[in-house]
Amino acid sequence: MAEGKKNTEKVVAVNGNMITIEFTDRVMQNEVAFARVGDDADTKLKSEVIRVRGNRADLQVFESTNGLKVGDEVEFTGELLSVELGPGLLTQVYDGLQNPLPLLAEKSGFFLQRGVYLRALDRTVKWAYTPVAAAGDKVRPGDRVGFVPEGIIRHYIMVPLAWKGEWTLESVTPAGEYTIDDVMAVAVNEQGEKRNITMTQQWPVKIPISDYAEKLLPEKTLVTQQRTIDTFFPVAVGGTFCTPGPFGAGKTVLQHAISRYAEADVVIIAACGERAGEVVEILREFPELEDPRTGQPLINRSIIICNTSSMPVAAREASVYTAVTLAEYYRQMGLNTLLLADSTSRWAQALREMSGRLEEIPGEEAFPAYLESLIAGFYERAGLVKLRTGELGSVTIGGAVSPAGGNFEEPVTQATLKVVGAFLGLSRERSDARRYPAIHPLDSWSKYKSVVDQKEVEFARGILRQGAEVNQMMKVIGEEGTSLNDFVVYLKSEFLDYVYLQQNTFDDVDGATSAERQRYMFDRIYKVLSGAFSLPDKDTARSYFLNLRQMFMDLNYLAMDTQEFKDQEAAIEAKIAERSTVNA
């Protein structure tokens, strides 16, 4: 379809939030259209083509279709569902279609009006622009022509990623303060076509941004400062992970901790179909959370895509793709971005609902048969890449999954486990026991590299496994039917659980443990786990390990560079020496 050309068609069927039209002109898959409600010229509902068959097209509408009827007009835009990219994205709260929600609320009042769509970026703010290219330079899509400061990052102004071929910069705007719509450079191609480069550009959300030199294997650990994750179930920079768990198992608190302390430059939260109460919690707490790297509010390097369960179902899919596209955009600047999607189960439910309306052959539990490929396609947009400038940039994706009843065998969880590199399974049993983070230490796994020696980690997991077996045995035959050696193994597993796996995210010291401190502490814990102790009976063993456990837990709340930490460490060494014999 020619650029700027629009065609208008008629609605021939309405089924919930899906409409069907018969077209006479060309229509594209994923093309955006606006359905006019009756004769109301002001109410146009945004929609997207999701299937084309013959001369009919099915569109999912991102709003309530109340009042829409057969015969109403649908105006096609000739453009794919896209997002606007440029300075001013950070600190914003958008809906799934990239409407800024604070401005939308101001315009709509208490209840959001349908059919209202706003520009994603502020046109009035002036940015301090510095050029890095000069007239006469040969450039390609994605090459940098200048930059503006956006919070703590350097936001590069690029040749639009959607352009094709090589261009020559005819002119470059000098340094100064400009709005995002001002022309920063003028480029011309070999055919003589001349185009303006501004601070903004568009990119279709369902097409990955692949303008880089090479995609690399994620190897470096993304330090989240959560001991259970970094030591036992690490995540890689540019890797993928999922956090399935039942309701109330602590997914939201864990996400807050990861987003605050993970070594990422930009954090993007996609609240996809979550309950409004949980999203409100994010909106209230994120601006108040202090970024430990800068001392400023965490929201200054964050973007929130907000699409609650009470908002239109079709927009859930858009919210996930909008979020990952924004993450890829900042990756193109050589930054490490972290995308946390909560929850992909709601996205899958939206897909199931639309698949039913399309009357497709259902897969397991009525999810679409192509669910696995869609989930895989989403997580494949993560990765560590080498840009043409030689810099490295990454997108790390973590998806929360909310399986009904905590059943990890359901289709969404299983499809996710096939493609992610780390599985952080949250346990109802551990959350009920107030053991947070409630990541199950035996069910979870990771393919990435730990911050601690792998052999020691495997030894510690062996202690946890043996301790769990002894615990189950004691539930059947009682403590008196257990040998002293088995009982000591159980006490060691509980010791490891309490002093290392559990972490108080609300404490200034224990809430975030650096990689250096994790190695330091795990080395001392490993000596206890692998050590042999003179313990004549079970009562002595219980008392000894309870005291040792409490001393280590007190140590977790002390900063390493203090005299109190050194004194507590000396007391622990003396306590270990009381009963220690020869290391096993």
Q: SS in 3 state form for 277-298? A: HHHHHHHHHCCCCECCCCCCEH
Token pair for residue 570? 């000396």
Q: Is 383 annotated as a binding residue?
A: no
Return the residue matching tokens 């009562």.
539
Q: Is 69 annotated as a binding residue?
A: no
Work out the average pLDDT over 563-584.
89
CA 247 – CA 62 distance, rounded (Å): 27
> With 70 as the cut, is the pLDDT of residue 517 above it?
yes
Per residue in 436-459, pLDDT (tens digit) is 999 999 999 999 999 999 999 999
Helices (H) and strands (E) in the chain, counts: 14, 26
- H helical segments located in 309-453: 314-331, 344-357, 371-379, 411-417, 428-432
The predicted pLDDT at position 26 comes to 87
Q: Check residue 98 and give left, alpha or beta (phi > 0: left; psi -120 to 50: alpha).
A: left
- How many Cα atoms are found within 13 Å in the side-chain-facing hemisphere of 394? 23
CATH of 214-273+309-446, one of 3.40.50.1260, 3.30.450.60, 2.40.50.140, 3.40.50.300: 3.40.50.300
Entry pTM: 0.94
Q: Distance between alpha carbon 356 and the CA centroid of its chain, in Å?
A: 28
> With 60 as the cut, is the pLDDT of residue 5 above it?
no
More confident position, 66 or 238: 238
Q: Is 245 annotated as a binding residue?
A: yes
Per residue in 414-442, pLDDT (tens digit) is 999 999 999 999 999 999 999 999 999 99
Q: Is 248 annotated as a binding residue?
A: yes
> With 80 as the cut, is the pLDDT of residue 486 above it?
yes
Report the CATH fold assignment for 454-579: 1.10.1140
The predicted pLDDT at position 584 comes to 40
> With 50 as the cut, is the pLDDT of residue 371 above it?
yes
Work out the average pLDDT over 389-407.
92
Q: Coil, strand, or helix at residue 148?
A: strand
533 beta partners: 580
Residue 395 has phi, psi (to 5 degrees) of -125, 120
Contact 481, 470 (CB under 8 A): no
The predicted pLDDT at position 256 comes to 86
60 beta partners: 18, 48
**Where are the domains positioned within the chain?**
7-81, 127-199, 214-273+309-446, 454-579
More confident position, 16 or 201: 201
Total residues found in the chain within this entry: 584
> With 70 as the cut, is the pLDDT of residue 582 above it?
no
Q: Is 252 annotated as a binding residue?
A: yes
Per residue in 140-174, pLDDT (tens digit) is 999 999 999 999 999 999 999 999 999 999 999 99
More confident position, 329 or 309: 329
User: Cα dihedral sign for 450, 452, 457, 458?
Assistant: positive
Q: Is 334 annotated as a binding residue?
A: no
CA 581 – CA 584 distance, rounded (Å): 9
Classify domain 7-81 by CATH number: 2.40.10.170
Into which CATH architecture does domain 127-199 fall? Beta Barrel (2.40)
The predicted pLDDT at position 41 comes to 72
Question: Residue 447 burial (CB < 10 Å; 0-12/13-18/19+)?
Answer: middle
CA 455 – CA 554 distance, rounded (Å): 27
Q: Is 584 annotated as a binding residue?
A: no
Contact 261, 512 (CB under 8 A): yes
Work out the average pLDDT over 175-184.
97
Contact 410, 345 (CB under 8 A): no
Residue 314 binned pLDDT confidence (cut-offs 50, 70, 90): confident
The predicted pLDDT at position 2 comes to 42
The predicted pLDDT at position 229 comes to 98
DSSP state of 365: G
Gyration radius of the chain over CA positions: 27
Return the residue matching tokens 């020696």.
453
Share of the chain above pLDDT 90, in %: 80
244 beta partners: 401
Average pLDDT over the chain reads 92
Contact 484, 534 (CB under 8 A): no
Per residue in 225-257, pLDDT (tens digit) is 999 999 999 999 999 999 998 888 888 889 889
Q: Is 8 annotated as a binding residue?
A: no
